[in-house]
Structure 1
Amino acid sequence: MAKSKSSDASSFLKTARREEIEILCKRAFGRIPTRVAFPGGRSRSAFMAEIGDERFVLAKRDSAGDAAIEGIVMKALSQTGLVPRVVRVVDEWVVQELVDGIRLPVFLDGLQDIGEREAILDKSLSALADLQEFAHAENLHHRVPRVGPDRDWSDGNLMRPRKIAEIVDIAPPLLDYGRLESLFKLNPRDFVKADARPGNALVCDDRIVWFDWEGCGRRHALDDLAFVLSDEWTAIDPETEDRLIERHLARFSRSRSQVEAFDYLMAFSVFHMMARMHRAIRYRYRDGEWWSREKCLHNDKIGVTPTEVGLMCDRARRWSLRFAPLHTLAPWCENLMEKLDLALPDQGAASQRKAG
């Protein structure tokens, strides 16, 4: 008989991994778990442990110091009800409550009406802005490290279009890298979640819970807004994008003018999309085929699919036209879509769903 999803997953684990989990749970709870599961797959370090009638998530970080900072941040932010409660930190492990909910990308994918998607994204962005503001009130921005030094960010991300061009064998775009680098030279004074992609949010009845605070730090508040709006699983039409930007830009812009904040959002988002597209296209060429969309969506993987890469490429094309230094990216994106045989998103169908 096939085992159900609730079956004891420990029987499938290698001995060393099982022993590590048992030792960790004994240190954290004084007992071994009755059941363990790996919602993100057994290759990932985080796992769920059932201890008696309670369930917890245990996530391994790079160092005990990283885990300690995350524990401090989550303990403070959990007062908002928008972050899981931290139980304890054990060396490089963060032990937290298991929150029942549906990952935001999966929830969005199940909504046929664009208006409903807009409403849940509106709530998700409001929760993220609330968390940023609460973090500043608690002075957490003084207790977290700087995220992505400017030079490292520039070297890695501004070159993404060129790397994509090499993979698919097309000419790279001509960009004013000097002007773009100057745009991203900023004083990193804002608290940010950093990895604020929709896959790190749960829809829990009437609230949104943001989890995985490993990468939180100090940079610019607009980065979090960009992570949500430019993600491949944020499948909305251009009109909805504009309304969400209009409603939330001011809260994330901090001391920047609205014009300056908008330019920064467009540029940061476009290069964030390029980074995700680069990964997806690299996997597509490595494997010789696109991945299963259902597996990508439900296993919290990057969208290595023609639908999701096409959505990002079209959004990058449109947004590059809204900031002068990126205008040359628009025809380049069109060339890329033709090379990969990607169709434009069916915005007409989206509008029909909204009207219906």
Structure 2
Amino acid sequence: MADGSFDQRAAYIVAKAQETLGKVPDQITTPGGKSRSSMRLHFGEETAIATLRENFRRTHLEAYVLEKLGPHCDDIPRVLGVNDDVLFQSDTGETRLSREILEHEVGDQVELAAEACAAIFRIHAAARQTDLAEMLPHLGSNRDWIINLVGSVEALQAYSMGIPKEFDFVAVAERMDQPGRQFLKWDCRAGNAAIGNDGFVRWFDFEYAGLRHGGEDFAWLIADETWPIAPDKMADVMIDTFDHGAGYDIADYLDYLSVYVTLHAVQRLKLIQKEVKKRGWLSKTRVIKYDDAGVHPDYARQLCRVGAYYAGQSKLTAPLARNFEAAGRAFRAIAEG
């Protein structure tokens, strides 16, 4: 049913809502558009989120993770019920973090960023109180995945004179070879968090949860091309919100984070390049409204600023800083067109 038309999927979800929640919604809206897997169900003044994914195993994994985490933190949706391939969960709020952050001045943006990061750390801490570390898959644990991640820096060559010989592919790959010891939500882009009526930031979409280092969740946010906060300010946020109970030395944690953010920024740039070829440049309004890839030259420039800064924070990736700077100049020329 997940691959049916919107009307078919909506009718299916309504029937499942009647069975599971004991009531039928009087309205259905689509926060991310009709092609997305989640719908907002309106029951008078109350709302709930119904999720029907193409892969029902992802739905059941998400429900399992949320139920395990639920007793230990309030930074996630509550599971209201699961019926076959449909997950019903509490509504974390209509205002996505990706939109809310744009409504504030820099000072308030940094405070909001700190709340979002603190929530991720609390989710990680909650996971340590469960047996999720024994149950979830290890993410990015095979050699090919790591080689592809590190090798992706070759994409920067198009904007510069090549990857500097000082960049040690093997050493960076060894740094990225991490055992799965910490819970990961995965895909912590700002569009996957919302501000509730109580003013709190909560994260949703846990269908890709697994285990790795832990810093990857923050890399998804820091290297979200639509995230407007300067990378040096995000570095300060990470220091201020760091959870010293996570079992890591903060200096080592932040060094790993710097390397991973650098590589993740390249991944996002590659995605933008791919989407430009398919669809051309998009408007910022469309990107934010539909939580789309940041296919706009200004967003690509932001990624280059993030990549250059974080590359410079670790000796392993410092040689790439000039590649990001050159790419940034190229995207500025496109923006000024």
For residues 43-94 of structure 1, give each alpha carbon's deviation from its aligned partner in whole angstroms, at most 9, with x where no partner exists: 1121122346542211123544432332122123333222111111122321
Match of 1:235 among 206, 228, 231: 228
TM-aligned CA deviation for residue 260 of structure 1: 2.1
- 1:40 is aligned to 32
C-alpha distance in structure 1 between counterparts of 2:87 and 2:126, whole Å: 21
For residues 17-41 of structure 1, give each alpha carbon's deviation from its aligned partner in whole angstroms, at most 9, with x where no partner exists: 4443344334434565432221101
C-alpha distance in structure 1 between counterparts of 2:81 and 2:213, whole Å: 29
- 1:93 is aligned to 86
- 2:332 is aligned to 341
Per the alignment, do residues 18 and 152 of structure 1 end up closer, same or farther by CA in structure 2, a change over 3 Å counting?
A: same
- 1:327 is aligned to 318
TM-aligned CA deviation for residue 308 of structure 1: 1.4
For residues 285-338 of structure 1, give each alpha carbon's deviation from its aligned partner in whole angstroms, at most 9, with x where no partner exists: 3334x2110110121112111221101101201221221222221221222223
Please state if 1:198 is matched with 2:186.
no
Per the alignment, do residues 240 and 335 of structure 1 end up closer, same or farther by CA in structure 2, a change over 3 Å counting?
A: closer
Please state if 1:294 is matched with 2:310.
no
Does the 8 A contact of 1:232 with 1:309 survive in 2? Answer: yes
Does the 8 A contact of 1:89 with 1:95 survive in 2? Answer: yes
Match of 1:315 among 294, 298, 306: 306
Does the 8 A contact of 2:13 with 2:86 survive in 1? Answer: no
- 1:6 is aligned to none
Does the 8 A contact of 1:87 with 1:96 survive in 2? Answer: yes
Q: What is the 5 A alignment of 1:5-16?
A: 16=8
Does the 8 A contact of 2:226 with 2:299 survive in 1? Answer: yes
C-alpha distance in structure 2 between counterparts of 1:239 and 1:63, whole Å: 38
C-alpha distance in structure 2 between counterparts of 1:245 and 1:31, whole Å: 43
Equivalent AA in structure 2 for residue 108 of structure 1: I
TM-aligned CA deviation for residue 250 of structure 1: 4.9
- Structure 2 residues without counterparts, runs of 5 or longer: none
- 2:297 is aligned to 306
- TM-score w.r.t. the length of structure 1 is 0.83
Equivalent AA in structure 2 for residue 141 of structure 1: A
Please state if 1:24 is matched with 2:16.
yes
C-alpha distance in structure 1 between counterparts of 2:10 and 2:98, whole Å: 31
Does the 8 A contact of 1:104 with 1:203 survive in 2? Answer: yes
Match of 1:272 among 264, 268, 275: 264
C-alpha distance in structure 2 between counterparts of 1:224 and 1:149, whole Å: 16
Equivalent AA in structure 2 for residue 247 of structure 1: D
Per the alignment, do residues 149 and 342 of structure 1 end up closer, same or farther by CA in structure 2, a change over 3 Å counting?
A: farther
Match of 1:211 among 204, 210, 226: 204
- 2:51 is aligned to 59
For residues 236-272 of structure 1, give each alpha carbon's deviation from its aligned partner in whole angstroms, at most 9, with x where no partner exists: 23442232132134548x3333332222111101111
Any idea what SS the aligned residue of 1:341 has?
Answer: helix
Please state if 1:182 is matched with 2:182.
no
TM-aligned CA deviation for residue 184 of structure 1: 1.2
Please state if 1:245 is matched with 2:238.
yes
Per the alignment, do residues 147 and 221 of structure 1 end up closer, same or farther by CA in structure 2, a change over 3 Å counting?
A: same
- TM-score w.r.t. the length of structure 2 is 0.87
For residues 210-240 of structure 1, give each alpha carbon's deviation from its aligned partner in whole angstroms, at most 9, with x where no partner exists: 1111111111121222222222232123442
C-alpha distance in structure 1 between counterparts of 2:238 and 2:46, whole Å: 40
- 1:7 is aligned to none
C-alpha distance in structure 2 between counterparts of 1:101 and 1:186, whole Å: 36
C-alpha distance in structure 1 between counterparts of 2:16 and 2:152, whole Å: 40
C-alpha distance in structure 2 between counterparts of 1:20 and 1:163, whole Å: 43
Q: What is the 5 A alignment of 1:75-224?
A: 75-79=67-71, 80-112=73-105, 114-163=106-155, 165=157, 172-174=162-164, 175-204=167-196, 205-224=198-217
Per the alignment, do residues 14 and 125 of structure 1 end up closer, same or farther by CA in structure 2, a change over 3 Å counting?
A: closer
Any idea what SS the aligned residue of 2:75 has?
Answer: coil
Does the 8 A contact of 1:176 with 1:325 survive in 2? Answer: yes
How many residue pairs get aligned? The number is: 327
For residues 92-134 of structure 1, give each alpha carbon's deviation from its aligned partner in whole angstroms, at most 9, with x where no partner exists: 321112232421111111112x111111111111111111111
TM-aligned CA deviation for residue 201 of structure 1: 0.9
Does the 8 A contact of 1:150 with 1:184 survive in 2? Answer: no
Any idea what SS the aligned residue of 2:128 has?
Answer: helix
Any idea what SS the aligned residue of 2:252 has?
Answer: helix
Any idea what SS the aligned residue of 1:48 has?
Answer: strand
Does the 8 A contact of 1:77 with 1:135 survive in 2? Answer: yes
C-alpha distance in structure 2 between counterparts of 1:100 and 1:242, whole Å: 27
Does the 8 A contact of 2:141 with 2:179 survive in 1? Answer: no
Calculate the aligned-residue CA RMSD, in Å: 2.5
Does the 8 A contact of 1:226 with 1:268 survive in 2? Answer: yes
Which piece of structure 1 moves more, 242-251 or 34-43? 242-251
For residues 170-212 of structure 1, give each alpha carbon's deviation from its aligned partner in whole angstroms, at most 9, with x where no partner exists: 6542432211110111211111112222211112233111111
Per the alignment, do residues 126 and 272 of structure 1 end up closer, same or farther by CA in structure 2, a change over 3 Å counting?
A: same
